[in-house]
Amino acid sequence: MSSIIEDVMARKLFNSRGQETIEVDVVTVDGFGRVGAPAGASTGKAEVVSYPKGGVDAAIRIFEELVVPELIGMDAEEQNEIDALLHEIDGTDNFCNIGGNTAFAVSVANAEAAATSYDLPMFQFLAGYAGNELPYPLGNVLGGGKHALGKTTDIQEYLVIPLKARNFVEAATANIMVHEKIGAMLRKADPNFTGGRGDEGAWAPNIENEEALKIVVKACDEVSDELGIEVRACLDVAASSFYDPKKQVYVYSMEGKKRDSGEQLEFMLHLIEEYKLAYVEDPFDEDDYESFAELTKKTKNCLISGDDLFVTNRERLCKGIEMGAGNSLIIKTNQIGTLSDAWETTKIAKRAGYVPVMSHRSGETPDAHLAHLAVGFSCPVIKSGVLHGERIAKINELIRIEETLGNRAQMAIL
């Protein structure tokens, strides 16, 4: 069997929001990999540049001119060398020349091509025989912010996680049940609710922030009782998206309130304690390490996670670790560019006791690679949505992985 790269090609496709994106194929002597790049809506300012000037068309042209000739003949099994080459060709620290999404698509497609060259599933190629832990699915069930249109919640995502689920199938079932119950509750509470959903399939009602959380918690409690497991509510506040840096306040349009950093801290503490939240993501502006650290110090039994804060960047993560900001982080490979970069950040996080959460993006593709990355990186949690085809693709692939592992499969320790 051979993993020598024979051909590489790229094309323009569309993501789940109908936006243009790049998809890359990597062909080896005995393998094949294909990956489309996703896109975020509430993006961190420290993320790598998605595309060079000129967008996807320019990215494909640069890819064909600069990247393809260098990749032909290389060994896909040498992931670090492939990723280092992408950095060398680009020549910047944020992939502004070839585009972070190009680097992402090449890097992950290469890993899949290497895996299939040896007739291995990608998770096993990445983790070896030890890769046998399934992540808990963190699912978006209600929300607004930049993921929905019209008058919706300021808080971007109301999430649920099925802790103590006995297997992944049961965990996925729990999230779907919560989603269904919330839909029924919303229709009962508001006869005018038309069933609108946001980018990720979560309900997008016209409802006040804390009232929404009460409904989510009620649905979690009901499903917990029905299944005999512990389903808990979580939040992705995406606070940077409604922070006014000039006035240094968080503008809650739905409530008609403005909160300074101290008031935001007290509000977050109230929500965590009152509703027994298991996870809170981006509760403050992306540069407010101090408030992240203060909230982390004052909470127990709740993960305080950084997405815009860390953007899968090892330098920003190391600063957070030094300050005690958070105890969890989102891993989005296309925030940093390559698989090797994302893995380095994940390793640093684990050594510091931070819980890595492998995450989708709001503008997704039907690719299922995220499932393999979650298991391959041994992430205890995967954030992949609950409904819509591009989200279910990841969930269904984890069910297949669980089946492939058989008796070796077990839920991660969290």
Is 200 a known active-site residue? yes
Q: Please state whether beta strands 328-331 and 355-359 pair in parallel, antiparallel, or not at all (unpaired).
A: parallel
CA dihedral 156, 100, 317, 248 (to 10 degrees): -50
**Predicted pLDDT at 40:** 76
Sign of CA dihedral 356, 361, 362, 365: negative
Query: Which one from 23, 157, 286, 332 is the annotated catalytic residue?
Result: 332
**Domains of the chain and CATH, by start:** 5-120 (3.30.390.10), 127-411 (3.20.20.120)
Q: Is 136 within 8 Å of 172 (Cβ atoms)? A: no
Query: How would you write the pLDDT of the chain (414 residues) with one tens digit per residue?
Result: 899 999 999 999 999 999 999 999 999 999 999 999 998 776 777 899 999 999 999 999 999 999 999 999 999 999 999 999 999 999 999 999 999 999 999 999 999 999 999 999 999 999 998 899 999 999 999 988 765 555 789 999 999 999 999 999 999 999 999 999 999 999 998 888 888 898 899 999 999 999 999 999 999 999 999 999 999 999 999 999 999 999 999 999 988 999 999 999 999 999 999 999 999 999 999 999 999 999 999 999 999 999 999 999 999 999 999 999 999 999 999 999 999 999 999 999 999 999 999 999 989 999 999 999 999 999 999 999 999 999 999 999 999 999 999 999 999 998
Cα pseudo-dihedral 333, 336, 340, 346, rounded to 10: -70
Query: For residue 108, which of 191, 23, 29, 172 has the smallest C-alpha distance?
Result: 23
Q: Tell me which of 23, 47, 112, 200 is the catalytic residue.
A: 200
Contacts of 90 (CB under 8 A, 6+ apart): 96, 97, 98, 103
pTM of the model: 0.96
- In whole angstroms, what is the distance from residue 13 CA to residue 27 CA? 19
Determine the length of the chain: 414
Please indicate whether residue 332 is annotated as part of the active site.
yes
